[in-house]
């Protein structure tokens, strides 16, 4: 099964993606995670990506499309299926993805679109904390880790207020046309993301069990 998970920053893509890949054995491909890894490894691509990410802007398509293409071309993707998270974020990326999939003889089975009230996103992003060792995402209030120790967690640089504002602007502008693109292809499954994490997971699981 080959899937996309879509939603505004803070909608819960990463949180739900972790559960979906565990349940369905898919390869999780998050462009944001790949960029953060490149930054941590201090690669040239990481340095370039960081200059855009810190401002809340999108990394240029040439770079982003390239890393997605390279990752999708790996054998594990063909064997297990993929869940693409955070890509595409522009119509140009959606078109590039079509070309990449065609060239690799892969196809898309569905798009999980998490719909949330934009007013709740600032609170979600500003309270997001990530476990240093595992990379798992939590929230100080909505999904607090058991045995929380501040030194074991970090906050993302781009979850600070100025970058968040810009990220939401950029993503809100781009998201409607992309969803429409996939709606026309009959691939979209809308999920109400204004519910507790466990309920959102249950709704997604129902949709995906029927798709399998």
Q: What single-letter DSSP state applies at residue 146?
A: T
81 binds, among ligand ADP, ligand AMP, none (CB under 5 to 8 A by kind): none
**Rounded CA separation 67/61 (Å):** 10
Task: Transcribe 13-61 into DSSP letters.
Answer: HHHHHHHHHHHH-PEEEEHHHHHHHHHHTT-HHHHHHHHHHTTTPPPPH
Q: Is 36 a catalytic residue?
A: no
Q: State yes or no: residue 93 binds ligand AMP (CB under 6 A).
A: yes
Cα-atom radius of gyration of the chain, to the nearest Å? 16
The site for ligand AMP, by CB under 6 A, has a size of 17
**Rounded CA separation 26/158 (Å):** 27
Tokens of 92: 């140009």
Contact track, ligand AMP, 142-161, x by CB under 6 A: ----------------x---
Q: State yes or no: residue 36 binds ligand ADP (CB under 6 A).
A: no
Interface pick for ligand AMP out of 59, 96, 111, 114 (rule CB under 6 A): 59
Q: State yes or no: residue 64 binds ligand AMP (CB under 6 A).
A: yes
Stretch that binds ligand ADP, among 20-28, 35-43, 175-183, 189-197 (CB under 6 A): 189-197
User: Would you tell me which residues interact with ligand AMP (CB under 6 A)?
Assistant: 9, 31-32, 35, 52-53, 56-59, 64, 86-87, 89, 93, 158, 167
């Amino acid at each position: 099964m080959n899937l996309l998970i879509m939603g505004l920053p803070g909608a819960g893509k990463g949180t739900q993606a972790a559960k979906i890949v565990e349940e369905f054995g898919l390869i999780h491909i998050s462009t944001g995670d790949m960029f953060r890894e490149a930054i941590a490894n201090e690669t040239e691509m990481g340095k370039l990506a960081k200059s855009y990410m810190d401002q809340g802007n999108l990394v240029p398509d040439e770079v982003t499309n390239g890393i997605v293409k390279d990752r999708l071309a790996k054998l594990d993707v063909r064997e297990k299926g993929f869940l693409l998270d955070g890509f595409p974020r522009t119509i140009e990326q959606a078109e590039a993805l079509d070309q990449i999939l065609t060239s690799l003889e892969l196809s898309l089975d569905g798009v999980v679109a998490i719909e949330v009230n934009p007013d709740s996103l600032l609170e979600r992003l500003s309270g997001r904390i990530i476990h240093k060792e595992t990379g798992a995402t939590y929230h100080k209030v909505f999904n607090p880790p058991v045995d929380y120790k501040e030194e074991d967690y970090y906050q993302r640089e781009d979850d600070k207020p100025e970058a968040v504002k810009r990220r939401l602007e950029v993503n809100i502008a781009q998201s409607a046309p992309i969803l429409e693109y996939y709606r026309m292809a009959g691939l979209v499954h809308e999920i109400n993301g204004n519910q507790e994490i466990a309920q959102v997971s249950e709704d997604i699981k129902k949709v995906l069990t029927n798709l399998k």
